[in-house]
Amino acid sequence: MADFSQFAGRACPEWYVTPQLGIFIHWGMFAVPAFAPPGQSITQLFETAYDDAFVQGPYAEWYENALRDPDSPTSAHHRATWGDIPYTAFRAPFEKAAEAFDANAWADLFQAAGAKYVVFVTKHHDGYCLWPTAVENPWRPGWHSKRDFVGELADAVRARGMRFGLYYSGGLDWTAHPRLIRNLGEMFAGIPTDQAYRDYAAAQVRELIDRYQPCVLWNDIGWPNDEDLPDLFAHYYAVVPDGVINDRWMGNAALFEGLRDPAACEAFNAMVKARIAASGVHGGGGAKPPHCDFRTVEYGSGAHIVDEKWESTRGLGLAFGYNAAEATDDYLTGQGLIDLHAEVTAGGGNLLVNVGPRADGSIPEIQSETLLALGRTLEPSRSS
């Protein structure tokens, strides 16, 4: 049994407790095809099309997964646009386009928006790393950038007085465990639990901690085994004493492995659908992990979370990664973002709003102008 008692009573650091704006960045190979079916949020789909939400949904950063379903809108788009090339073929055009990446331009925008901290996606579910990691991928050697995008952005953000945090997809890595995911049961079944992946993920997160000292350690989906977490968390706090850890570290390996049985997965999904029908997607609040510094709600409100620090995260549109198919109406307006920020911070939460840059690193005007509109309203408080 993993021992989290050493973290009992740890107070969330004051810098993070103060309600504020953070910027999330999802950027990677998925910005080359830049497609997902627009029009419905993932929250809506969990309520109306739960069984196929992850292949029908608007998350462009899940392109590789949706491509595994030959009947998905993404597969139809891919055949018409790209023919039969594999997802891995997008690496070369991404790396070519990414030569134009300008960390200072991003940091200038985020500062002007009024952000206090920035969280950068270092590795999403496709397993491709945006830093020159020394931890070799056992399933796809060399699956990382040569350029240190993480380090360049860390320097630019900190030079402007903002804090810098990191996202890592510990729960899903499609180089280690490629399988079609259509719903939450299949998502948890897709978390690799073998020792090779446990060692790989832990070594990469330690490398990120030691190399970049992130103020936020933001894991996604889950973790292959919770036995590894107390030592990892202790190492993080030793390196970054005022750092914060999010709540997406569930490491129930027995559950993940059990859900690979179709009958067990069906029963799990039936339970989840019943809960959604009874109290909505976010109504239950989710199970509290053995340790975290804050709770996260995705495309929803954290008003139901009592006596805990929380954040609300969402894209400026319906996707996190850039989706060229999104319509203007799928995006928050400047006033919409201003209102959302006011609502979240008034309730004690942080708003972690996401930008999805194009493959060349440029941030679409429909996103940047919305951020700047919020920044103009926050300017008096920043200068006081």
163-220: per-residue pLDDT in tens? 999 999 999 999 999 999 999 999 999 999 999 999 999 999 999 999 999 999 999 9
Q: Look at residue 2 and tell me if it is in a domain.
A: no
- Look at 42-46, 139-143, 194-198 and tell me which has the smallest mean pLDDT: 42-46
Residue 273: in which H helix or E strand, if any?
helix 262-279
On the question of pLDDT at 383 being above 50, the answer is no
Percent share of the chain, pLDDT over 70: 97
Structure tokens at 23: 């910027």
pLDDT computed for residue 242 by the predictor? 98
**9: in domain:** no
N-terminal to C-terminal alpha carbon distance within the chain? 49
**pLDDT, tens digit, for every residue of 307-322?**
899 999 999 999 999 9
Average pLDDT across the chain, whole number: 95
Q: Is residue 160 part of a domain?
A: yes
pLDDT confidence band for 384 (50 / 70 / 90): very low
CA dihedral 24, 118, 283, 220 (to 10 degrees): 70
Total domains present in the chain: 1
Q: Is residue 12 part of a domain?
A: no
Picking from 358, 365, 353, 363, the residue whose alpha carbon sits closest to that of residue 328 is 365
Cβ atoms of 67 and 36 within 8 Å: the answer is no
Residue 11 placed within a domain:
no
Tell me, rounded to whole angstroms, the distance of Cα 27 from its chain centroid: 10
Q: Is pTM beyond 0.85 here?
A: yes
pLDDT reported for residue 380: 60
Element containing residue 382 per DSSP (H, E): helix 365-383
CA distance 39 to 44: 10
Buried b or exposed e, range 110-139, using 16+ CB within 10 angstroms: bbbbbbbbbbbbbbbbbbbbbbebebebeb
For residue 150, what are the domain limits? 21-383
Within a domain: residue 26?
yes
Question: Residue 1, Cβ neighbours under 10 Å: how many?
Answer: 6
Average of pLDDT values for 62-83? Answer: 98
**DSSP H/E element including 333:** none
Per-residue model confidence (pLDDT) at position 305: 84
> Would you place residue 327 in the very low, low, confident or very high pLDDT band (cuts 50, 70, 90)?
very high
The model's pLDDT over 235-270, given as tens digits with 9 standing for 90+, comes to 999 999 999 999 999 999 999 999 999 999 999 999
Q: What is the pLDDT of residue 382?
A: 55
The DSSP output letter for 363 is: P
What are the angstrom distances between the C-alpha of 162 and each of 102, 188, 251, 326?
17, 34, 31, 30
The pLDDT score that the predictor gives to residue 236 is 98
DSSP notation for 10-57? PPPPHHHHS--EEEEE--SGGGTT-----SS-HHHHHHH-GGGHHHHS
Integer Cα distance of 302 and 318 in angstroms: 18
CATH number of the domain where residue 174 is located: 3.20.20.80
pLDDT at 272 over 60: yes
> Quick check: is 122 in a domain?
yes
- Report which residue type is found at 233: F
Nearest to 169, CA basis, from 130, 112, 117? 130
**What DSSP character marks residue 332?**
P
pLDDT over threshold 70, residue 1:
no
Is pLDDT above 90 for 302? no
Asked, for residue 356, whether it belongs to a domain, the answer is yes
What pLDDT was estimated at residue 307? 85
Question: What is the rounded average pLDDT of the residues 266-295?
Answer: 85
